[in-house]
Amino acid sequence: MPATQSRVNDFVLKIATVNGTGSASANSLVMKALFRMGIPVTGKNLFPSNIQGLPTWYEIRANKDGFMSRSRRVDLTVAMNAQTYSKDLKEVSPGGFLVYDSTWPRSHTLARDDITILGVPLSKLCNEHFSVARVRILMKNVAYVGVLAALLDIDLEVVQALLEETFAAKPKLVESNLEAIMLGYNYATENFTCPLPVRAQKMGDNAGKILIDGNAAAGLGFVYAGATVGAWYPITPSTSLMDNFKIFCEMFRTDEATGEKKYCIVQAEDELAAAGMVLGANWVGARAFTPTSGPGISLMSEFIGFAYYAEIPSVFVDVQRVGPSTGMPTRTQQCDVLLCAYASHGDTRHPLLLPADPSDCFQMAVQAFDLAERLQTPVFMLTDLDIGMNDWMVPELKWDDSYRPDRGKVLSSDEVDALDKFVRYTDFDGDGIPYRTLPGVNPKGAYFVRGSGHNRQGGYTEDSLEYQDVMDRLLVKWETAKTLVPKAVLTPAGKKTRLGIIAYGSSHAAVVEASVRLAEHGIHADYLRLRAFPFGVEVEEFLASHDTIFVVEQNRDAQMKSLLMLETQINASKLVSILHYNGMPLPSDCIVDAIGKHIASEVAA
Amino acid sequence: MTYIAKPKIDLPGQQRNAIGLLKRDYEGSLSTLCAGCGHDSITAAIVQALWEMAIEPHKLIKLSGIGCSSKTPAYFVHGAHGFNSVHGRMPSVAAGAHAGHRDLVCIGVSGDGDSLSIGFGQFGHAIRRNLNMLYLIENNGVYGLTKGQFSASADPGSKAKKGEVNHMQSINPVATAIAMGASFVGRSFSGDRQQLVALIKAGIAHKGAALLDVISPCVTFNDHAGSTKSYAYTREHLHHISETGFVPPATEITAEYAAGDSVRVTMHDGSSIVLKKADPDYDPTNRSKTLRYLEKHRDKGEIATGLLFIDDDLPDMHTIAGTSKKPLRDFAYAELNPGSAALEKLQRSMR
């Protein structure tokens, strides 16, 4: 047996299956069991753009130190898909383990002498034990949970409790699932030395933590934000956001007596229409949003420019996936930063919110509406597939019951009556934000929304000065936006340094881990996590006070670096890009390697 | 589209409607369309209809897309909020507005360019959703603002001002809407004020998408010999399939119609439409018969006008969705927010 380092509560488990075989619930069972043993875990679902029959992987990282990013190592692989067996075999880190279904013989060319290969006849065990064909397929996946429980020393009582909760309504299923688990468990304990040096050990109960994906958290956030209208067109990877909004609305927004719904979800004919619906609903004073992905933003851009110029509050969520064009719909990237920042023709600029995890998604869904209504402009929440569709361990979501939505400068009927005349696009307060009225309130407050040239009163214009007057006021509003968006968060290095790292969104977890690893190697860097665009003064200060700033992002063209160069006073030569854009979630070692290499080359020069 | 405020002059003897408003309270700014444009007659009919129905101006929303027709919401009801959206996208904005506030009376004004080309998809889906609105297509068969290109409703054989002949088939919004499952479809002519006013009122009272295709000649680019959308051609080929009368809720029907000649459709708000049929074989409540009837008249080169089809029982968008009767935007935040205790409880399932 090859030498294996002991890895207790610090390992990566990768499960290779075929989609549509029910492996998702088996994988979630393993993940939740580790979670309940108090071990910090994250789960990454690597799936195809397909319904049934193609390879899919689930990666669970257990890490006692709480590092949540992806790691490139693989300590234990469960290879349930013969189609990807050779690839899965190659990926196992030296000293690691590979479990495969030994019901069928494997080619002798598929061998490695630096890892341990463990064959379990899962199909044979299940075929002998279960009689129905479909049940055999499903139970084969449950049986590997039993194998893993034995190999990794996962608490069987925890597994049983989870099954009982999952199938509370169908106790018979608890029984059959447990039988399958014991088939795998017993085979492993009888044939292998269990547990492996790579294993789990109870370290608490993860009290105060939950497992959630970003789309669920954002959907919940929009319920708490008081959004009543959701308009959307289904697109991976944003679809489950609206699915979740609907689930939570059914739960919390259905009148118990009448069954009436205090929400309206409209599945639009396309993204163009979804954007139009969001504008229409916000115009009449309902909080309305749309979740989409990059291709949807391309289609919505016409209306986004309209909303910017006509100053209609609106919230757009871009759960980014790999572009350009259709790209890879089930892979992750941060490739729509520039698209969203400047969406639409003409001079336009839009606030962006940049959540780093599901917890941020929940909070920023609420902030997005407060900002959109305060600023009367489209606001984007830019998440990505990694945040949106993967399982994250985050602190329990908290809600402050004293929160009241900021509806911005909306005049009531009485306030309109007190005016000589209502004018829509005049800056009375010096913050660049005009007053608006809602339809159905007071005829004196009526005005005509238009995307064509208009003056500060709201009237149509082709007059140069009147046009420019409004465009210049929108710049004043942009300055106000800088003071309202969430500030960037500074994590200072342990030692005084002139090195900086800037990152945002789902790169955050990888940077946190990389910073610790780098410090162990004597490389200290201050870390600034961007949470929004436009950039506040704190970003300028950070840029000014560091000599070399690494900008970590998940796209090919260094979009955030470009945005920093365009929108701040930075001397571009100070910025060094670290780019990861292969569609997989960013692993921390990618950052450690890149910064290490850069420093070494500086020293050599 | 310059913005010219209309002078307000008090004329003696002006009539007030049920809520004490004068007709001029339903007017907007001065039209900047060409003199004689059919669209201005439609605007006047809208003003007349809304005044007669005594709709509170601020309870109306008026939306449009892009084009000559889409300028017109500025020319009626200055006390209503207006939304001049982007090309072909008026229906989606209307859908959102109606989702957020179901009690506002919604008029969408579009044109053949706006609804039958770039906006053909959204037009179809407004019908499919049975969005509670009056959807007006001011149909002139031509692109006016860009100076005279054929639109998708130009008839085959119709001649452009510069002599070019259209050889493509025309998209017929009326037949399309009926085939797509529309709940209310009418056609009229901008020069037929009486019929138009009655149809507008019926369309507003109808709970669902009411499509009105109004032939509205373009005096500048499509009013010449050889055009099938000119005043002369339309007048000559017009075929009234019915005289439409609109009876508001709780009003006694006084007009007498010979039995078998008239159809009375009572709508959900209590109002009714009385159709005095010119043709005994015409039945506006039968979808397939209506389509056959329309095709028959098209073959004869006639433009059938009147209320062509109605099914007042089809559920509208909110009925299908089960949305609360109270407009969504009127809910106080406290009625929408589950609060911290619910959040805490919910998260027990996330461990």
B143-166: pLDDT as tens digits: 988 989 999 999 999 999 999 999
- What is the pLDDT, as a whole number, of residue A20? 78
- What is the pLDDT, as a whole number, of residue B240? 87
Among the partner-chain residues B104, B325, B338, the one whose CB lies closest to the CB of A252 is B338
CB < 8 Å to B74, chain A: 448, 460
Best residue in B22, B336, B345, B346 to probe A by mutation, most A CBs within 10 Å? B336
Which chain B residue has its CA at the smallest distance from A226's CA? B336
User: A447 and B336 in contact by Cβ < 8 A?
Assistant: no
* Three-state secondary structure of chain B: CCCCCCCCCCCCCCCCCCCCCCHHHHECCCCCCCCCCHHHHHHHHHHHHHHHHCCCHHHEEEEECCCHHHHHHHHECCCCEEEECCCCCHHHHHHHHHHHCCCCEEEEEEEHHHHHHHCHHHHHHHHHHCCCEEEEEEECCEECCCCCEECCCCCCCCECCCCCECCCCCCCHHHHHHHCCCCEEEEEECCCHHHHHHHHHHHHHCCCEEEEEEECCCCCCCCCCCCCCCHHHHHHHEEECEEEEEECCCCCCCCCCCCCCEEEEECCCCCEEEEEECCCCCCCCCHHHHHHHHHHHHHCCCEEEEEEEECCCCCCHHHHHCECCCCHHHCCHHHHCCHHHHHHHHHHHHC
User: A285 and B100 in contact by Cβ < 8 A?
Assistant: yes
Among the partner-chain residues A211, A274, A459, the one whose CB lies closest to the CB of B350 is A211
Q: For residue A586, give the DSSP letter.
A: P
- What is the pLDDT, as a whole number, of residue A105? 84
Q: B 81-100 residues with CB below 8 A of A?
A: 81-86, 89, 91-100
User: A396 and B74 in contact by Cβ < 8 A?
Assistant: no
Q: Is the pLDDT of residue A263 over 80?
A: yes
Q: Is the pLDDT of residue A69 over 90?
A: yes
A vs B, Cβ pairs < 8 A, gives 230
Low-confidence ranges of chain B (pLDDT < 50): 1-2, 255-257, 259
Among the partner-chain residues B2, B324, B350, the one whose CB lies closest to the CB of A255 is B324
CB < 8 Å to B58, chain A: 439-443, 445-446
- What is the pLDDT, as a whole number, of residue B259? 47
- What is the pLDDT, as a whole number, of residue B324? 98
- What is the pLDDT, as a whole number, of residue B260? 54
User: B347 and A400 in contact by Cβ < 8 A?
Assistant: no
- What is the pLDDT, as a whole number, of residue A31? 97
- What is the pLDDT, as a whole number, of residue A293? 98
* Contact present, A23 and A141 (Cβ < 8 Å): yes
- What is the pLDDT, as a whole number, of residue B4? 64
User: B337 and A288 in contact by Cβ < 8 A?
Assistant: no
pLDDT tens track for A217-229:
999 999 999 999 9
Closest approach of chain B CAs to the CA of A220, in angstroms? Answer: 9
- Whether B162 and chain A come into contact, CB under 8 Å, resolves to no
CB < 8 Å to A265, chain B: 321
pLDDT tens track for B218-264:
999 999 999 999 999 999 998 888 888 888 876 655 544 454 567 77
- Whether B300 and chain A come into contact, CB under 8 Å, resolves to no
Best residue in B337, B344, B345 to probe A by mutation, most A CBs within 10 Å? B337
pLDDT tens track for A357-396:
999 999 999 999 999 999 999 999 999 999 999 999 999 9
Q: Is the pLDDT of residue A486 over 80?
A: yes
- What is the pLDDT, as a whole number, of residue B2? 46
Closest approach of chain B CAs to the CA of A462, in angstroms? Answer: 8
Per the listing, tokens 């690494």 go with: A550
pLDDT tens track for A236-259:
999 999 999 999 999 999 999 999
Closest approach of chain A CAs to the CA of B93, in angstroms? Answer: 4
ipTM of this predicted complex? 0.96
The pLDDT-based confidence of A106 (bands split at 50, 70, 90) is confident
CB < 8 Å to A396, chain B: 344, 347
CB < 8 Å to B54, chain A: none
- What is the pLDDT, as a whole number, of residue A21? 77
Among the partner-chain residues B80, B95, B350, the one whose CB lies closest to the CB of A446 is B80
Of A17, A83, A69, nearest to A40 by C-alpha is A69
- What is the pLDDT, as a whole number, of residue B252? 57
Among the partner-chain residues A223, A252, A261, the one whose CB lies closest to the CB of B324 is A261
